[in-house]
Amino acid sequence: VTEIAGAAAVVLLSLPDGDASIAVARDIAAARPRRAGVVVDTSTIGIDAARSAAAALDAAGVAYVDAPVSGGVAGAEAGTLAMMIAAEAATVELLQPMLAAIAGNRFHVGATVGQGQAMKLLNNFLSGTAMAATAEAIAFGLDHGLDMKTMLDVLNASSGQNTATSDKYPRRVLTGTYDAGFATRLIAKDVALYERRVAASGARSAVGAAVREQWRRADAALPGSDFTRIFDYVRDSRRDR
């Protein structure tokens, strides 16, 4: 970290959790000599962790850009990631040429650190909900003799269509590859971050609480798994009492 901070004017982070981002932010802030003046954090770490990382860098005169991404491994390889950027407009404009190389879809969602995280958490909550709900719906159909491919074709031409039915299930579940490249533990972490933040605001989150618990159980049952394995978990456990 010290070597990178001394060589690069802009440092991009992509880390698994808030503790990692905060630790790296502190290392960059403490680096001497230091060339880094801007840190772009593409990690999904939650609002509180992003603010802690930003505070550590701000004390050293380093700008923190809250910029989580969505799109997975395929999006990263194709340069088509969606990036949700929270930073001052002038900083965003300065970074546009660099960010365009990795994120074909860039959205300036606000100027305050944490707003990028809020956007990403609500996105991943919806994604996680779709994955879990689709698993239950497909399992229901299988119980009634329906073919999975036929169900997906019907859903994708109907009001039940979502990113799980249009992408993850046809490409990763139906094929038996289960290789979306996103870990069950990470979606469980993201949904938990979302639900806890809702609770902290004093609002109710009945759906969030249910989805969080479903992913928590799936992660416990299938450690180290790809998140598309939620189908196996739901199919095999839905009749447990």
Residue 75, both tokens: 């999006």
Look at residue 139 in the predicted model and tell me its pLDDT. Answer: 98
Decide if 189 is catalytic. no
Buried b (16+ CB within 10 A) or exposed e, 39-76: bbbbbbbbbbbbbbbbebbeebebbbbbbbbbbeeebb
3-state DSSP: the chain helix, strand, coil percent, rounded to 5?
Answer: 60, 10, 30
> CB neighbours (10 Å) of residue 227?
26
CA 119, distance to chain mean position in Å, is 10
- Beta-strand ranges (E) seen in the chain are 10-13, 38-41, 63-66, 69-70, 82-86, 105-110
Catalytic residue selected from 120, 149, 168, 189:
120
The dihedrals phi and psi of 75, each to the nearest 5 degrees, come to -65, -40
The domains found in the chain, sorted by start residue, are 2-111 (3.40.50.720), 118-237 (1.10.1040.10)
List, run by run, the mean pLDDT of 10-residue segments along the chain (241 residues): 97 97 98 98 98 98 98 88 98 96 97 98 98 99 98 99 98 98 97 96 95 98 98 90 49
Q: What is the pLDDT of residues 167-211, one digit of tens each?
A: 999 999 999 999 999 999 999 999 999 999 999 999 999 999 999
> CB neighbours (10 Å) of residue 35?
13
Rounded-to-integer distance, Cα 45 and Cα 225, Å: 20
Rounded-to-integer distance, Cα 168 and Cα 227, Å: 10
Look at residue 240 in the predicted model and tell me its pLDDT. Answer: 64
> CB neighbours (10 Å) of residue 189?
21
Look at residue 73 in the predicted model and tell me its pLDDT. Answer: 83
Residue 121, both tokens: 């958490």
Q: What is the DSSP letter of 36?
A: -
Residue 110, SS3? strand
Whether 116 contacts 82, CB under 8 Å: no
